[in-house]
Structure 1
């Protein structure tokens, strides 16, 4: 198991995701625990989720605005008020200097001690976790964490605008092929579900979502050694400070 910083040593957390709803599937129960503990959590969503949805009659031009609104509503369910969108295109996310710079800028603005990002490593056992956008967001985020955000000579225009270098002490990877840390989210599961159901444009059969997610989290808890009946989210945690 990983050596994880106690929440008492953390004041700010930055969560990066490729699409609206990624955080809610992977980590909303954990985020609710953090906000309950008094941590200030900020979301940074790389795309507007323009390729999502299930209704072919809904104009594609409207999807981005709908999904931004849904993500803000979902974030509020778990105590997050600051949600930032980078505006890249769903399905076209790549590890570019533009994306790394955008994430570096947000890191220097928020100055988090802890970050939660998508895994940049593909999980061959559960391929949908490793959407190409997720992998790109994760790789760009870790490049922003190290070395760009802490390097005073990386993206000098950011420093010139007053955004000083910042070192993130700890990084949590979501949807990594292996896990070394589990968070018991039994007591925040209802809020996780409320967050997920806020993404109404993504769920043609919302009544089927709760049992499916409960099953996933119960299996995770059992695999990670939690007592029977508990629910857990899992991560790969690394020291980056």
Structure 2
């Protein structure tokens, strides 16, 4: 397998988020590039998203609406496999049940790359570090090692044929800037990213400010990543889990 730490197009990706729209803000342009190159990308959204939004009129049925918005956003970047664990928005914790659900999806998808929100708080932009985001990152980290690759963790999954699997790479998004070590050039995909974000219509009280801020962040990422002025990038903290540089059991 190619060194996916170098951002070559993977065959399979599982992207995990706390809420509908998190992936679109954090990684949708990179995902669009991967799907265009032939990758199969799956989304796993951990909460129902019903604490989001800004309108009382949307409150009844908001969870169902946000699922529809996430499916629409995913389709705009070439993703059709979207699952929801249905945890309560604002109360996500890395419980055994949540970790088991993530392990199940990892074993089903068997991805080259797992994309997840970062488990560490970002003080440069506290909005990255919603408690649900941190819980998502912690739950995914616990699932990636050792649970997903241990046949004796969740033996009922193994017995059902949902067998253990070693994840090669874990890519975190929405984390502290000082930990970011991979900047993916997404120049030319800015409008596609905005389109994916805009699918979440219930979440945008100020569309113009949101769009200008997203574009500014992409440009800042490119500068920090050494890609130069006029470029756009998404930023990740890439961690090798099972690679040529790691040893099983260590």
1:21-71, Cα deviation, whole Å (9 max, x unpaired): 00011111111011111110000000121100000233x331100000000
1:37 aligned partner: 37
- 2:19 is matched with 19
State the match for 1:80 in structure 2: 79
Residue 3 of structure 1, CA deviation: 7.7
- 2: distance between equivalents of 1:207 and 1:141? 33
Which SS does the other structure have where 1:57 is aligned? helix
Q: Which runs of 4+ in 1 moved over 6 A?
A: none
Scaled by the length of structure 1, the TM-score of the pair is 0.96
Matches within 5 A, 1:154-165: 154-165=153-164
> In the alignment, is residue 51 of structure 1 matched against residue 43 of structure 2?
no
CA distance in 2, matches of 1:117, 1:37: 21
CA displacement at 1:210 relative to structure 2: 1.7
Q: Deviations over 1:126-166 (max 9, x none)?
A: 11101100000110011111100100000011011110101
C-alpha distance in 1 between matches for 2:208 and 2:237:
31
Contact 1:119 1:138 in 2 (8 A): yes
Partner Cα separation in structure 1 for residue 68 and residue 135 of structure 2: 24
**TM-score if structure 2 supplies the norm length?**
0.92
**Which residue of structure 1 lines up, in the alignment, with residue 139 of structure 2?**
140
How many Å apart are 1:205 and its aligned residue?
2.0
**Equivalences for 1:187-198 in 2 at 5 Å?**
187-198=188-199
* Aligned residue-pair number: 238
Distance 1:202 1:6, change over 3 A: closer
| Secondary structure in structure 2 of the residue aligned to 1:209 | helix
SS in 1 for 2:217: helix
Are 1:7 and 1:37, in contact at CA under 8 Å, matched by a contact in 2?
no
1:58-113 C-alpha deviation (Å, 9 max, x unpaired): 3x331100000000000001000100100101001001000000000000111111
RMSD of the alignment, in Å?
1.3
Map 1:211-230; keep pairs closer than 5 Å.
211-230=212-231
Structure 1 SS opposite 2:57? coil
Where does structure 1 lack aligned partners over 5 or more consecutive residues? Answer: none
Q: Which runs of 5+ in 2 are unaligned?
A: 243-250
